[in-house]
Amino acid sequence: MTTLSVASNQSPTGLDIHAIRQDFPILAQQVNGKPLVYLDNGASAQKPVAVLDAMERYYREMHSNVHRGAHTLGDRATVAFEGARETVRAFLNAASTRQIIWTRGTTEAINLVANGLAPRLRAGDEILVSRMEHHANIVPWQMLAERTGAKVVPFGITPEGELDLESFDQLLGERTRILAVTHVSNALGTVNPIRELVAKAKAAGVITVVDGAQAVPHYQPDVQALDCDFYAFSSHKLFGPTGIGVLYGKEDLLNEMPPWQGGGEMIERVSFERTTWNVLPYKFEAGTPAIAEAVGLGAAIDYLSSLDRPALEAAEADLLTRANQLVETVPGMSVIGTARNKVPVISFKIEGLHPSDIGTLLDQQGIAIRTGHHCAMPLMDFYGVPGTARASFAFYNTQDEVDQLFTALQKIQRLFA
């Protein structure tokens, strides 16, 4: 057995990780009598006090419906709600808040786009997706294909877990109408060359849809530099609340697309003879929105902006480096997905152990990871496994927590050796 050295809460980048962890009260608890080691950030990240306080302040001081009330609370709520939209616009470097649509999350955002693009598709058209996509970026396109007679065409990945660009080039053809691809793989942590893919697709006249759910917790994307037509992400992975997400879209396409849901707010005028639609972004925001959640997401982005983002990225890279170094200390352990460019995600298996057993035994030691197919069954099929165990790190995780994970895995492996 390899003895692991004791790491410090001080990041090699100089960040005071201990001070940052104080901003996340949930991390201070114990689970099964052990200090919590939360390594399931890819599923949902924890929330800083700034987010909790912002949402409580909304409910205590300004709760009202937005846009409609002719009173002070309504004005306060609207200012906070639309202020959060502006915060998201700046975060993505979108040209206008008209391009920022509130959704329930990445899944709803992609479904909205798929529905809106239906009039553009004809029988025989092709929707190009990668084999590493989350189900949320596969199933809506399959449903669209069934409605229109189009076809979903998967392009390949390499054994290392990178996109096979030769496969992409071969399949990007005259029948391709849509490219749907993830910025970062949720199961592997692979960071994909989105700008290159978008440029090739754009040259072929193809509409591009990017799933950014796993990218935004680690990088701040620039949608104008990426030049993608649509970009979607979820708040809860970006240290914000659940139940809200964002769809960025280019204005000409959003204006062309029909509304997805009907009701209040998304209308300009209603009569029994004819209804006309509201302007962007409200055309796609039927009904009372998730106001407190939008405020919380804005607070999460503001919190991140108050930190040294490049230093956070460096700290996360150090966590991944440490984890990769320790893989060899666990007999029979192998990593699924060894791309050259990754966020801090280790998706792994241990010979003779089922991923769910690994997860259960780690939980007994206070360590939270994710197990299963990670809503990426085609990817698991590619690797010939039913699922993996996945440890996904955030900037508030410490080098010591990485060591605790591998010490626990060593114990589990010995139990079944």
pLDDT attached to residue 12: 55
pLDDT tens figures, 90-103: 999 999 999 999 99
CA-closest candidate to residue 53, choices 245, 256, 295, 386: 295
Cα angle for residues 328, 329, 332 (degrees, 5° grid): 65
- State the alpha helices, DSSP H only, in 216-351: 223-226, 251-256, 291-305, 309-326
The answer to whether the CB of 191 falls within 8 A of the CB of 184 is yes
Same domain, 300 and 315: no
Q: Which amino acid is at 198?
A: V
Same domain, 300 and 312: no
The parent domain of residue 353 ranges over 17-48+308-416
The answer to whether the CB of 302 falls within 8 A of the CB of 87 is yes
> Taking the mean position of all CA atoms in its chain, how far away is CA 336?
20
pLDDT tens figures, 285-323: 999 999 999 999 999 999 999 999 999 999 999 999 999
CA-closest candidate to residue 348, choices 384, 394, 390: 390
Report CA dihedral (377, 383, 385, 389) to the nearest 10 degrees: -80
Other Cβ atoms closer than 10 A to 16: 11
The tokens describing 37, both together, are 């080691």
The answer to whether the CB of 214 falls within 8 A of the CB of 392 is no
The answer to whether the CB of 297 falls within 8 A of the CB of 241 is yes
pLDDT attached to residue 417: 72
Residues in CB range of 56: below 8 A, 6 or more apart: none
CATH code, domain with 31: 3.90.1150.10
Among 305, 337, 365, the domain-final residue is 305
Tally the domains of the chain. Answer: 2
pLDDT attached to residue 109: 98
pLDDT attached to residue 6: 40
pLDDT attached to residue 57: 98
Q: Which amino acid is at 69?
A: G
pLDDT attached to residue 267: 87
Same domain, 318 and 401: yes
Same domain, 118 and 201: yes
The answer to whether the CB of 108 falls within 8 A of the CB of 235 is no
Residues of the chain with pLDDT under 70: 1-13
Select which of 165, 375, 377, 385 is catalytic. 375
375 included as an active-site residue = yes
Q: What percent of the chain has pLDDT over 90?
A: 93
Give a yes or no: residue 79 inside a domain: yes
C-alpha distances in Å from residue 153, one per residue of 93, 108, 156, 399? 31, 22, 10, 41
Same domain, 152 and 258: yes
The tokens describing 334, both together, are 């192998």
Give a yes or no: residue 265 inside a domain: yes
